[in-house]
Structure 1
Amino acid sequence: MSFLQVQDIHHTYFTRDSATTALSNISFTVEEGEFVSLLGPSGCGKTTLLTIISSLLKPTQGKVLLENEPISTSKNEIGYMLQQDYLFPWKTIEENILLGLKLSKQLTDASKSYALSLLSQIGLGGVEKQLPKQLSGGMRQRVALVRTLATEPKLLMLDEPFSALDYQTKLKLEDLVSNTLKQFSKTAILVTHDIGEAIAMSDRIFLFSSRPGRIHKVFEMPEELRNLSPFEARRHETYSGIFQTIWKELELLESKTE
């Protein structure tokens, strides 16, 4: 039994005057501890699928199972890391990272201690009483990661979490997130437009065709890349060839939409 099962997902958005099919016949599985990426042209339904997997949107057809049970955000099974850090500017860093625990009624001395230890582990010990405006963009995203991990979710959703950062910070944060998720054996799904990011961070990449979104191809990353940090993976001799292969497939898909 796979950890996550996405079964025959089909989704159509309805308005008074039209119906737009965003996703069609999406089925795949993800194993526990695996990191997968959803890659494809703009408008191919990647974020729609992420929202369906998180149970925030009910699909027109199909179902999503986590550990063979219907997935639910109410059980703190899902953690999010988004493009914006969404830290409350008037709350301290400590208050921000404890917010999820407080809302889910999980806040105890032990869970608070765990959250603060996570903050220290990712190099932010000593900033607990500071406000978000006192931190850089990369530091705030690290805080957002701690807030996400503090509730100990089973599955993490990463929706272009590095796209608003400068390139150097982005590379450093890719390494940090990847190493942290491996350390805690977390299962993650990344939505990205960045081919290099998907290759460097993922075990598998699902390449989507244009609307309606379908899985066009699945790329399994070679073991020698999966065993490296994202920064090291970008420098490996196999990286360039994989990049070119996916780039050509993506170009082909995008040319069909013009």
Structure 2
Amino acid sequence: MNFLRIDSVHHTYFSPKTATHALRDITLQVDEGEFVSFIGPSGCGKTTLLSIVAGLIKPTEGTVTLRNKPIRTMKKKLGYMLQQDYLFPWKTIEENILLGLTIMGTLTEEKRSEAHSLLNEMGLEGVGSSYPRELSGGMRQRVALIRTLITEPHLLLLDEPFSALDYQTKLKLEDLVFSTLKSFGKTAILVTHDIGEAISMSDRIILFGTKPGHIHSIFEVPSQLKEMMPFEVRNHAAYPEFFQSIWKELEKLESRTH
């Protein structure tokens, strides 16, 4: 059974004077526990598709199902992690983490205890009573990940969550997010502009073309890289050649748009 199924999705943005075709005939399946990345030139519809999968936008045509149920009925089973952490500055770290559970009326002492365990696991011991302004960017993104995981989502949607961080912090967080999602057996879709990030974290990479957005190529990450931590992947002998193969395809697409 397909875990996530995107079937013949088209999307057009309408304004009073124009119709902009953002996506054309997107059909894709994602298996449970799989990590898939979306890459492509600017304007190829990566984020539009992620928003459709999140149930935030209804596609003009086509369907998206999660475990054979329409995605719009499964919103509580989705976790969203963005470039900005969107922590509320007036709430403590613990309050921010538990906010979703509080809103849904599912906060228990067991969940509170789990939140503290996750903080400890991610090197954030003792910061539960701190406020976001007291934490670095990397620490705040770790808090955002815990807030996402604590609601036990079936599917995680990651929209460039590391792009605002310095390079060293980004590499460390890639490893942390990768190992955490693997240990929880989570399914994830990552939107990124960084080919290296896509290779180091993914099982498959979907390269989108533009005008309108469509699936141009699908790259299966070499099996020897899939089981390695992202930092190790970037240093593996198979990495440069695979990077170049994706880079060349992306270059072809970029040249067509200019």
Task: Give the TM bin, normalised by the shorter chain.
Answer: over 0.9
- 2:167 corresponds in structure 1 to 167
* Correspondence 1:210 to 2:210: yes
Amino acid at match of 2:110: A
**Tell me, what secondary structure is at the counterpart of 1:98?**
helix
- Partners of 1:238 and 1:118 lie apart in 2 by 34
RMSD: 0.9
Q: Distance in 2 between matches of 1:205 and 1:214?
A: 14
User: Is 1:43 aligned to 2:62, yes or no?
Assistant: no
Please say which of residues 9-18 and 121-130 is displaced more in the overlay. 121-130
Secondary structure, in 3 states, of the residue corresponding to 1:193? coil
Question: Against the structure 1 CA distance between its residues 153 and 73, is the aligned structure 2 distance closer, same or farther, given a 3 Å change threshold?
Answer: farther
Give me the whole-angstrom Cα distance separating, in 2, the residues matched to 1:179 and 1:72.
29
For residues 176 and 216 of structure 1, the distance between their equivalents in structure 2, rounded to whole angstroms, comes to 30
Query: Which residue does the alignment assign to 1:232?
Result: 232
Gaps of 5+ in 2: none
Paired letter, 1:89: P
Cα distance in structure 2, aligned partners of 1:43 and 1:113: 43
The question of whether the paired residues in 1 share the 8 Å contact of 2:54 and 2:75 is answered with no
Partner of 1:63: 63
User: In structure 1, what is the Cα distance between the partners aligned to 2:96 and 2:73?
Assistant: 19
**Structure 2 length normalisation: TM-score?**
0.98
CA change 1:168–1:253 in 2 (3 A) is same
Q: In the alignment, what sits opposite 2:11?
A: 11
Point out where structure 1 has 5 or more consecutive residues left out of the alignment.
Answer: none
Q: Note if 1:199 corresponds to 2:202.
A: no
**TM-score with structure 1 setting the length:** 0.98
Say if 2:185 is the partner of 1:180: no
1:190 alignment counterpart: 190
Q: Tell me the CA shift for residue 74 of structure 1.
A: 5.6
Q: Distance in 2 between the 1:212 and 1:115 partners? A: 42
Per-residue Cα deviation, 1:192-229 (whole angstroms, up to 9, x for no partner): 00000000000000000012110000000011100100
How far, CA to CA, are the matches of 1:211 and 1:88 in structure 2? Answer: 38
Report the Cα offset of residue 72 of structure 1: 3.3
Q: How many residue pairs are counted as aligned between the two chains?
A: 258
Q: Tell me, what secondary structure is at the counterpart of 2:114?
A: helix
